[in-house]
Amino acid sequence: MIDPWSDLRSLTSARIALGRAGGSLPTSEVLGFSAAHAAARDAVWAELDLDRLEADLAPIGLPVLRVASSAPDRATYLRRPDLGRRLDEASATRLTQAAPPGGCDVAVIIGDGLSAIAAQAHAPALAVDLAGRCRARGLRLGPLSLVRQARVALEDPIGEALGARAALILLGERPGLGSPDSLGAYLVFGPRPGRTDAQRNCVSGIRPEGLPVPAAAELVGWLVGEALRRGLTGVDLKDERGLLGEGERDSGCG
């Protein structure tokens, strides 16, 4: 008799149809779960290699600023999420001094988040692709910011300090069992401290087994263009590409 669960399992990475050995899970499944859990923990504690990241971003040709949140180390960052949303004083000063005259349209930030592995693996390719799309539309890009111990809302003070109309932070998402390298892209128009999650757009699951980088770049690029055109992000900005005509789809930076 054919087990219908085996066909379903081939279509998803979710843990279904695990089988059993007596009253327990098969040993292979127990070991697989333990390995996935260990990979998730490693991703949370991994450290971003800023030298390698800066080298991978060189094709963009923008100045790179290394800044820091108010969380002094990884353990504090995990215990105090609020500190990961704030810049330290030295970084705030450095960003203000590096702001382009007249500001910029988009400030791109790369942070470790909860998975430095994801940021290291996928953020450079996404940033390079997005930079090309934005430049093709005549948008002004601010200096790239690289941050350790970063939370999503850190894009607010960084974007404000650089005089950016919109800020985009690429950072590692909380690892799942089997997805320790998932990258998220969070976009906010008018960045400044006090912005809420409802005022951001999130594109998540960016990884080869999820949303591939080229598809993510197309979507994020479109969102950036529409955010700047309409002057908003968040719950008021939806992915309407399928509802627009060809000319309208081409109007943004994507």
pLDDT of residue 16: 81
Confidence bin at 82 (pLDDT 50/70/90): very high
Looking at residues 28-42, what average pLDDT do you find?
88
Q: How far is the C-alpha of 201 from the C-alpha of 221, rounded, in Å?
A: 12
pLDDT of residue 250: 47
Q: Is 147 helix (H, G, I), strand (E, B) or coil?
A: strand
pLDDT at 136 over 80: yes
pLDDT of residue 184: 98
Confidence bin at 11 (pLDDT 50/70/90): confident
Closest among 172, 154, 40, 36 to 115, alpha carbons compared? 172
Q: What predicted TM-score, i.e. pTM, was given to this entire model?
A: 0.88
pLDDT of residue 4: 75
The four Cα atoms 207, 32, 117, 77 give a dihedral, to 10 degrees, of: 120
> CA angle, 82 as apex, 239 and 127 as ends, to 5°?
40
Give 59-89 as a DSSP string: GG---EEEEEBS--SHHHHHH-GGGGGSB-H
Confidence bin at 20 (pLDDT 50/70/90): confident
pLDDT at 249 over 60: no
Domains of the chain: 45-249 (3.40.50.11240)
- Give the CA radius of gyration of the chain: 20
Closest among 41, 161, 149, 128 to 85, alpha carbons compared? 149
Distances (CA, A) of 116 to 175, 201, 230: 10, 21, 33
Looking at residues 158-167, what average pLDDT do you find?
98
**More confident: 250 or 41:** 41
Q: Say if residues 113 and 206 touch (Cβ distance below 8 Å).
A: no
Q: Is 44 helix (H, G, I), strand (E, B) or coil?
A: helix
Q: How far is the C-alpha of 209 from the C-alpha of 175, rounded, in Å?
A: 14
pLDDT of residue 178: 80
